[in-house]
Structure 1
């Protein structure tokens, strides 16, 4: 019998969902359904009966702004928030119903399939498999330059809503399904522009970097889809990193793939795929050697290769570097980056403060543009998310009756850690460390300014020397490593610090670690920005997929329990517990 419940997201919102226990009384496996845009969960639950998977429980949510969940219809604070909601929902199912991710299959359609694809990419969940039906990676807007116009209007007006042009007879040949679509009071025809534009941006990112997704995937493409383009769906499939993947093109199907007149054609493939996946052990490839051979290694090697000096790209980036040098005469941020490296603790501390400065109006304007770069916006959100992770870890440790002794191994100036401490709930002790004496001295001044000398210390030490983690008194219960591993491509080097944390932290202790699975400005960074490590104009970052980062942490003896990600999917913050 179907039950109606709610779960609470990271930001405290209660979202509605439907639950139908397995018909045969089983309790260990689940199919989780994600609806298309505009629609509620009730239009997906018929799959629980028609698929005939009687040994599976079925869950289906109403995304925020849809159905019986709160929020303005067709809206969300952002695509990143909606993707985080997916993660919260799956964690709720695990906590509330005892169903582990590896015993969950996802079936998602249209917009729901985009959210799930972004979740697979950004959060690297260990689910058994996913069925993606007509993912809305690129909506057909039909009006020329519609997307550009919407972006411009959104910049001028802020968020606003547009109504869907799609009629029910363009979605499905099924007359009953058409009639129910036209009469369902929970269907909202409007969608907010920030969600529509965010959908495009998330889709482009996930399609471009689909190699990071290794979950077994079955992709269903409606052959006569009036609503979304086919090409991004094929690009996504062709680039998928999954060892197990299937693509089925359903001739004559409209966009409502799972609600089509001849949907049994699709359901036969879905049943077989799910049964095969659950008859076999979970397929999780080892990504810990990706620094030797992977797409991210190929990408980094390409960016490490100097361009011919007289090539168009070589001339372009030479001119770009010259403009940065010119801007550094007047812009404070560019001046700090040039002097200390754009990846230095001094640069990050300046970015955290986010106050444009310059010697004249040109410098201040350039500084404002510099600080508003997508990467720096993500860095500031990473700082906020570290604060959330710190407070979550404090609650876990105190709930377990443990003292809170913090060890951060690459603190920069330490601002992001100190800002995360609340005056009414200070930890028992904080050890900050950094390899740079400049950072240590700046951090000590910041500690003195805040009067935290009795609680916080700052020392100059090498994070990659495992001996520096031995015999610490008091023994740390919370480790933090932020922004360090992203600067070094070698996983063997990274494992030295992670194993050091494994040595230092007691069982049940927490580890906060950051990642960078995606960045839209990698070439600019590599061709134009200097690094504090060697002063080279070739600061190359090898991106680690979230799965790769998580597996390295797991190899050191930790288990991830929470994750936070910025709206652009660039920087992640994860919380793990020592097993």
Structure 2
């Protein structure tokens, strides 16, 4: 962490000039730059975090610190990686998801350094920054106070026909490259000073990496289509004469939002730089009033723990479970799809395993983890490789890596806290991911207890333990992960419990509550729970119409749980979420929660 720098009050003409300059270490070790403006009043009521447009940097939002006129709130503004004074190739990030996780790292930094919890924070974001912020709220489900999105860049106007497809094709052929912004300052704002400063600012980043531009479209489409997962109070400000982004997805996003506290305002004549326009006082007043209203509101957070009974994910699952007329176009299409999968099982070992044991079985997941194409001759291996490279299975393998990382991190933290480290996995499948994780620990755990309800999984898991010649402290038992009383009675009580890939397979929340309730009773305060979630999947219909489950060969119909729903269930059981990982496609999450002391 670099030393903080700020001018003295005597040097500053206004509060915006009193920025404290800081750096924070993000998730991959990069040192990103941000500005901090302490509250002018002795006790801050909260914090406002600002996220700039693409090509720009946090310094170009500094004027908002004074113009919002909220002296009892602290303000923060980062320079996104590859922008402004943050390091990295200009306009580049390893992925859009990496930049979203940078936001999560910044919010943790604010909490740890200045004591602002997520519930003390409102976010104000523009353009590409607004898409980053909306994706973060969708994927990580932070309990922030309010979200203000100004001209979110859910769909950039590229003007050249088939430009997006061309960029994707060129990247596939030549690799990553850079696209320079075509936007002139006079099409961003009517404010002459903002135009001059944009044209002369040496920190403006004109290029954007092709991978980020393509990722922007993909994540924007996902978040707009699934905005019903967002329960944070949200305001959308739409510039009426925007030359840069399309209005349609902005309206769709607003309509889809689940929060009852939501506002949409169209600002006639405004160009894209909504909060930097000549008449921006109109937009700032709207945003300020919304934020103040949310900080003053005493309304309880939207409870979505009943989403299994009524809600959009329940409706979605019911539609997917409804049988199709076999003679209809869709019925014929999916019947042919099922036939092809059966035929694929003749030559592909992976598909054959899925057909025999269920595509959601521990046996199939263990095969996916191994990631070695096997089958009948070259054709079989080619089919098997195509199967293993499906986006869902790539997400599963990334989930395994995230599980191993967070198991290792939790184990270190528990050791530091003086815990003996008894590990429990209540539905381990074959247990490969847990055994791989503990093999990388600096010190062996005091005990490892793996459980599963399937005889096949228990048998294979015990075989893996024997193959690795693990000590008697590592055991595998047959047990029901939804038997709350049995979980509560486990001895020795676990310091770290793991639930991976289980709750996603069951649509109703009642058994989830029983399971979490049992874990809450056996895990003592300070102990940790690692749990997974599947808040989104691009192939839900294909899975429901073509693949079978381990439960008697039934169709594999999944009811998604949004991250907010899953987190609320965990919180209701007596845990506090402290960390999360998500893959770059937004499919699978792995979270860590700490058992809190019962009140």
Give the TM-score range, shorter chain: over 0.9
Inter-partner Cα distance in structure 2 for 1:545 and 1:144: 36
Aligned counterpart for 1:84 among listed residues 98, 101, 106: 101
Shift of 1:60: 0.5
Inter-partner Cα distance in structure 2 for 1:11 and 1:460: 39
1:186 equivalent in structure 2:
203
> Secondary structure, in 3 states, of the residue corresponding to 2:442?
helix
Shift of 1:425: 2.4
- 1:407 partnered with 2:417: no
- 1:416 partnered with 2:416: no
- 1:208 partnered with 2:225: yes
Inter-partner Cα distance in structure 2 for 1:71 and 1:456: 44
- 1:26 partnered with 2:17: no
Inter-partner Cα distance in structure 2 for 1:283 and 1:498: 23
> Secondary structure, in 3 states, of the residue corresponding to 2:148?
strand
Aligned counterpart for 2:471 among listed residues 435, 449, 453: 453
Kept in 2, the 8 Å contact 1:36–1:112? The answer is: yes
> Secondary structure, in 3 states, of the residue corresponding to 1:378?
helix
> Secondary structure, in 3 states, of the residue corresponding to 1:139?
coil
> Secondary structure, in 3 states, of the residue corresponding to 2:279?
coil
1:342 equivalent in structure 2:
359
Map 1:133-148 onto structure 2 (within 5 A). 133-148=150-165
Deviations 1:177-215 (A, max 9, x none): 111111111111111111101010000000000001011
> Secondary structure, in 3 states, of the residue corresponding to 1:329?
helix
2:496 equivalent in structure 1:
478
1:551 equivalent in structure 2:
568
2:8 equivalent in structure 1:
none
Deviations 1:21-68 (A, max 9, x none): 112233341000000111111001110011111111000011111111
Kept in 2, the 8 Å contact 1:216–1:283? The answer is: no
Inter-partner Cα distance in structure 2 for 1:147 and 1:51: 37
Structure 1 unaligned regions, length at least 5: none
1:514 equivalent in structure 2:
532
- 1:4 partnered with 2:21: yes
Shift of 1:471: 3.2
Map 1:353-432 onto structure 2 (within 5 A). 353-421=370-438, 422=440, 424-432=442-450
> Secondary structure, in 3 states, of the residue corresponding to 1:88?
helix
> Secondary structure, in 3 states, of the residue corresponding to 1:328?
helix
Aligned counterpart for 1:54 among listed residues 71, 75, 90: 71
Inter-partner Cα distance in structure 1 for 2:43 and 2:75: 12
2:505 equivalent in structure 1:
487
Deviations 1:344-364 (A, max 9, x none): 001111111111111122211
Kept in 2, the 8 Å contact 1:214–1:242? The answer is: yes
TM-score (norm 1): 0.98
Inter-partner Cα distance in structure 2 for 1:99 and 1:355: 47
Aligned counterpart for 1:127 among listed residues 144, 163, 170: 144
Shift of 1:403: 1.1
Shift of 1:283: 4.6
Map 1:168-179 onto structure 2 (within 5 A). 168-179=185-196
Inter-partner Cα distance in structure 2 for 1:501 and 1:467: 9
Larger mean Cα displacement after TM superposition, 449-458 or 337-346: 449-458
Inter-partner Cα distance in structure 1 for 2:305 and 2:118: 21
Kept in 2, the 8 Å contact 1:174–1:261? The answer is: yes
Inter-partner Cα distance in structure 2 for 1:237 and 1:291: 23
1:500 equivalent in structure 2:
518
Shift of 1:433: 0.4
Shift of 1:275: 1.4
Deviations 1:329-374 (A, max 9, x none): 1111111110110000011111111111111222111111111111
Structure 1's 423 and 17: CA in aligned 2 closer, same or farther, altered over 3 A? closer
> Secondary structure, in 3 states, of the residue corresponding to 1:343?
coil
Shift of 1:103: 1.4
TM-score (norm 2): 0.95
Inter-partner Cα distance in structure 1 for 2:292 and 2:420: 47
Inter-partner Cα distance in structure 2 for 1:454 and 1:170: 70
Inter-partner Cα distance in structure 2 for 1:87 and 1:135: 19
1:103 equivalent in structure 2:
120
Aligned counterpart for 1:319 among listed residues 331, 336, 339: 336
Q: How many residues align?
A: 578
Kept in 2, the 8 Å contact 1:19–1:60? The answer is: yes
Kept in 1, the 8 Å contact 2:488–2:519? The answer is: no
Inter-partner Cα distance in structure 2 for 1:345 and 1:389: 21
Aligned counterpart for 1:295 among listed residues 281, 295, 312: 312
Inter-partner Cα distance in structure 2 for 1:118 and 1:470: 37
